[in-house]
Amino acid sequence: MKRYVIVGNGVAASACIEGIRNVDPDGAVTVISAENRPAYCRPLISYYLEGRADPAKIGYRAPDFYEKTGCRVLYGQTAEAIDPAAKTVSLSDGAVLPYDAVCVAAGSSPFVPPFAGLETVREKYSFMTMDDALQLEKATETPKDVLIVGAGLIGLKCAEGLYGRARSITVCDLADRVLSSILDADGAKAVQAHLEQKGLRFLLGDTVDRFDGNTAQMKNGEIVRFDVLVLAVGVRANTALVKNAGGACGRGITVNEKMETSLPDVFAAGDCAEGEDVSFGARRVLALMPNACFQGYTAGVNMAGGEKKLTDAIPMNAIGFFGLHIMTAGTYTGDVYEEKTALGSKKFFTADGVLKGFILIGETQRAGLYTALIRNRTPLEGVDFALIRKTATSAAFSKETRAKMFGEVV
């Protein structure tokens, strides 16, 4: 019987279990879970804070998932080291697990810059885990002034979660715009205006110079008083297990299309891995749920001796803030086409005759057609691009393109 070990218990790990079971119904699967709970949908932690998500219902899979898939989960344990020669994983409790194939699906950790005086701040939090959300819930039992450092996805999701609980929310970021990693300047402006309407205050192009207890002195001189500080500056891929074992790593653990690392029988998937982004044409960490799911499943199939390659990974985000829907995908290079819509705007980026990326703000229906164009690198000569920019409809595809994309008979 083959022995599988999965380090981490998030989306990538769950998908890895499914990939393994699709090929090998009998092998022994052990999951090492640093968090003391079954895999859950991390994006839902802000909904929990808002009171919109029942903690019992944020599980990524049904409560009997591990039982049904026949996995053993070691909760509250961390993997400390992988020995690729002995093919073992050492755990925090001193146990040593032998494996035939191991998948590192360890996600990422919050990055905390060395701010001067940070040690003087008593109430400071990250916003990555359900435990973080529970702590923030407690910290804001009575209305508090909140300072969030970081106007990226996690910082803004935290702001949305705390809205209604906090007396005031100020968000600062060194970047000159919100969501700088996924929006261009116009899109960021629209989203910022929407958030400001709700009462959020932004200090952009600025960050904290030093903390002193409950005050932050900004680089531009402004003093911001707060009760609760959230640090959402960014995340770093958890690469140490593979790096320390001698495996290749960039910003994430280097993986090929089968999610193999440079170490034999060691795979990696999800936020800790760095695979090919086909819209960018280079390796990148794509720290997103769909990617964690595709990568985890691919790793699982290959670990169990099946054959699967992930050849169409692209960055894509589907998020919303206070009812404003945003969807983005791909890279923003080449020629730009913009359509204004009743609810916002759609922006498309094309180069070399294919769609490279898009930013949809407000109207995001059927955006899967756009992502399919990017993933498949569909030549736009077979597409009525003027039509599809306005309405995501398969009627915009030529017969040949429809046949290629949907298998229709021409």
Ligand X SMILES: Cc1cc2nc3c(=O)[nH]c(=O)nc-3n(C[C@H](O)[C@H](O)[C@H](O)COP(=O)(O)OP(=O)(O)OC[C@H]3O[C@@H](n4cnc5c(N)ncnc54)[C@H](O)[C@@H]3O)c2cc1C
What residues from 296 to 335 belong to the interface with ligand X (CB under 6 A)?
Answer: 317, 319
For position 179 contacting ligand X by CB under 6 A, the verdict is: no
In angstroms, give the least distance from the CB of 89 to ligand X: 9
How far is residue 300's CA from residue 303's CA, in Å, rounded to a whole number? 5
- SS3 annotation, the chain: CCEEEEECCCHHHHHHHHHHHHHCCCCEEEEEECCCCCCECHHHHHHHHHCCCCHHHCECCCCCHHHHCCEEEEECCCEEEEECCCCEEEECCCCEEECCEEEECCCEEECCCCCECHHHCCCEECCCCHHHHHHHHHHCCCCCEEEEECCCHHHHHHHHHHCCCCCEEEEEECCCCCCCCCCCHHHHHHHHHHHHHCCCEEEECCCEEEEECCEEEECCCCEEECCEEEECCCEEECCHHHHHCCCCECCCEECCCCCECCCCCEEECHHHEEEEECCCCEEECCCCHHHHHHHHHHHHHHHCCCCCCCCCCCCEEEEEECCEEEEEEECCCCEEEEEECCCCEEEEEEECCEEEEEEEECCCCCCHHHHHHHHCCCCHHHECHHHHHHCCCHHHECHHHHHHHHCCCC
Which C-beta is closer to ligand X: that of 203 or that of 272? 272
CB atoms closer than 10 angstroms to residue 336: 13
For position 344 contacting ligand X by CB under 6 A, the verdict is: no
Among 18, 43, 145, 404, binds ligand X (CB under 6 A): 43
Which C-beta is closer to ligand X: that of 11 or that of 314? 11
Which C-beta is closer to ligand X: that of 127 or that of 349? 127
For position 231 contacting ligand X by CB under 6 A, the verdict is: no
Among 97, 233, 249, 287, binds ligand X (CB under 6 A): 287
In angstroms, give the least distance from the CB of 140 to ligand X: 16
In angstroms, give the least distance from the CB of 273 to ligand X: 8
In angstroms, give the least distance from the CB of 41 to ligand X: 7
Which C-beta is closer to ligand X: that of 158 or that of 396? 158
For position 288 contacting ligand X by CB under 6 A, the verdict is: yes
Contact flags string 191-230 toward ligand X, x per CB under 6 A:
----------------------------------------
Among 21, 124, 157, 165, binds ligand X (CB under 6 A): 157
In angstroms, give the least distance from the CB of 17 to ligand X: 11
Which C-beta is closer to ligand X: that of 190 or that of 268? 268
Q: Which residues of 81-92 are buried (b: 16+ CB within 10 A; e: fewer)?
A: ebebeebbbbbe
Options 167-175, 210-218, 277-285, 288-296: segment touching ligand X (CB under 6 A): 288-296
For position 79 contacting ligand X by CB under 6 A, the verdict is: yes
Which C-beta is closer to ligand X: that of 75 or that of 406? 75
In angstroms, give the least distance from the CB of 317 to ligand X: 6
For position 155 contacting ligand X by CB under 6 A, the verdict is: no
Residue 295 token pair: 């990568």
Which C-beta is closer to ligand X: that of 13 or that of 396? 13
What residues from 116 to 135 belong to the interface with ligand X (CB under 6 A)?
Answer: 127-128
Among 5, 12, 71, 151, binds ligand X (CB under 6 A): 12
For position 374 contacting ligand X by CB under 6 A, the verdict is: no
For position 364 contacting ligand X by CB under 6 A, the verdict is: no
CB atoms closer than 10 angstroms to residue 78: 17
For position 183 contacting ligand X by CB under 6 A, the verdict is: no
In angstroms, give the least distance from the CB of 221 to ligand X: 31
Which C-beta is closer to ligand X: that of 292 or that of 360? 292
Residues 6+ apart with CB under 8 A from 308: 19, 258, 297, 298, 301, 302
- Look at residues 39, 108, 87 and name the one whose alpha carbon lies nearest to residue 273: 108
For position 153 contacting ligand X by CB under 6 A, the verdict is: yes
Judged by the rule CB under 6 A, the positions of this chain that interact with ligand X are 7-13, 32-35, 42-43, 45-46, 78-79, 105-107, 127-128, 153-154, 157, 238, 270-271, 287-290, 292, 317, 319
